[in-house]
Amino acid sequence: MKQAFSEEGCSGLNLRHSYRPPVLRTPRAIGDWWHMSHTPHSIVIRNTQPGDFPAIIELSRQVYPFGPPYNEGQLASQHRMFPEGQFVALDSHTRDVVGMAATLIVRWDDYDMHTNWRDFTNNGTFTNHDPVRGRTLYSAELMVSPFRQRQGIGSRIYEARLALVKRLGLLRVRAGGRLRNYHRYADRMSAEEYVIKIVRGELHDPTLSYQLKCGYHVLAVVPNYLPKDTESLGWVAIIEWINDDVAKPEDYTGRDMRFEPRNRPATPRP
């Protein structure tokens, strides 16, 4: 996942001091729309439509100036492969696209933990989408406009995405979370050391700290995920959120204890 927004809180959760399974607030369904009225400007989350592609391309230019934006071919392929897994956030007053998310279903065993974004998404086309064998929703993208940060938009997109996982009965969400502030510390610590300090609360990263508050766990720290990213220097934390509705005890095992907060158990009770 190439996630780009500042920490906004996550559905009112605070998992910093004690573990509680994430609470899913299911949006109020209006057809294929989810209306959210918890932000200063009312936000609507709905599935992406082809007419949204130009706005998404412009949004990606704003969010990722270090790399090429999405193109219409990639977005059309994503929509064709898995339309219900693509989301946009709209300002209900202006109808401007102020955020988006892109996902696909994968069979995780087909990939290595160190697989980069290009290979996980087949160069952003999602033609490797595997709803038959896959049990993992892979979060390939989440963007919020730089001009609409800290308005709860990212949290609303997260909720819609987790609602999809629940509805489809998938086991988990996994993603590559950008280590957005790592460039500020790279001269004095390794990326793994940086992540350990984040999960212990000794440092703050606007992306990873937010994801931890949302109930995600770090599985690994890998290089070269986004080689052109000048903020993360290519490094991401592979993160996971487990769907307690379908998970078995063994699905919570095998996590690297170095990446577990000291005040949160590594294996929550299913």
- Average pLDDT on 212-217 reads 92
- pLDDT value for 9: 52
3-state SS, residue 52: helix
Q: 174 forms bridges with which residues in the sheet?
A: 138, 240
pLDDT tens-place string over residues 183-203: 999 999 999 999 999 999 999
CA dihedral 249, 250, 251, 255 (to 10 degrees): 110
Tokens of 50: 């082809």
Domain range list for the chain? 2-259
246 pLDDT above the threshold of 70:
yes
- pLDDT at 13 > cutoff 70: no
Q: What is the mean pLDDT of the chain?
A: 85
Strand partners, 24: none
Q: Which residue is associated with the tokens 């992540």?
A: 195
Closest CA to 217 of 164, 165, 257: 257
User: CA torsion 53→238→105→215, rounded to 10°?
Assistant: -90
pLDDT of 7 strictly over 70: no
Which residue type is seen at 196? I
Q: Answer whether 24's CB lies under 8 Å from 162's CB.
A: yes
Q: For the residues 163-180, what does the mean pLDDT come to?
A: 96
pTM to 2 decimal places: 0.84
Residue 181 CA from chain centroid, whole number: 17
Q: Which CATH number fits domain 2-259: 3.40.630.30, 3.20.20.70, 3.90.78.10, 3.40.50.1100?
A: 3.40.630.30
Q: How far apart are CA 60 and CA 27, in angstroms?
A: 26
**Helix (H) or strand (E) run with residue 194 in it:** helix 191-199
Is the pLDDT at 253 greater than 50? The verdict is yes
Q: Is the pLDDT of residue 19 over 90?
A: no
In this predicted structure, what is the pLDDT of residue 67?
82
User: Which residue did the predictor score with more confidence, 265 or 197?
Assistant: 197
In this prediction, residue 35 carries a pLDDT of: 46
What is the distance between the alpha carbons of residues 1 and 237, in angstroms, rounded to a whole number? 10
Give the rounded percent of residues in the chain with a pLDDT score beyond 90. Answer: 71
264 pLDDT band, cuts 50/70/90, is low
Structure-model confidence comparison of residues 112 and 99, the more confident one? 99
248 has a pLDDT exceeding 50: yes
Q: What is the pLDDT of residue 14?
A: 29
